Amino acid sequence: MDNPFAPPDLFKARRILAVQPHYDDNDIAAGGALAALVENGAELFYLTVTDDLVGVIDQSLTEEQMTTQLRAEQDQAGAAIGVSGQYWLGYPDAGKYDYFDVRRDIIKHIRMLRPDFIFTCDPWLPYEAHNDHTLAGRAAAEAASLYGLARLATDPEIDKNWKPFDLTGIAFYATAYPNTIVDISATREKKHQAIDAYLAQFSKEGLERLHLYLNHKEQEWAKDKEFSHGEPLKVLRPFHLHAYPDALNT
What average pLDDT does the structure give for the chain?
97
pTM of the complete model: 0.98
The burial class, CB within 10 Å (0-12 / 13-18 / 19+), for 104 is: middle
Q: Considering only CA atoms, which of 222, 220, 173, 218 is closest in space to residue 192?
A: 218
175-208 residue pLDDT tens: 999 999 999 999 999 999 999 999 999 999 999 9
Domains of the chain: 10-240 (3.40.50.10320)
Torsion of CA 58, 208, 226, 30, to 10 degrees: 0
Q: What is the mean predicted confidence (pLDDT) over 157-174?
A: 96
Q: Considering only CA atoms, which of 82, 228, 106, 245 is closest in space to residue 167?
A: 106
- pLDDT at residue 25 greater than cutoff 70: yes
What is the share, in percent, of the chain residues with pLDDT greater than 70?
Answer: 100
Torsion of CA 179, 43, 13, 34, to 10 degrees: -20
The pLDDT, as a whole number, for residue 84 is 98
pLDDT-based confidence at 1, cuts 50/70/90?
low
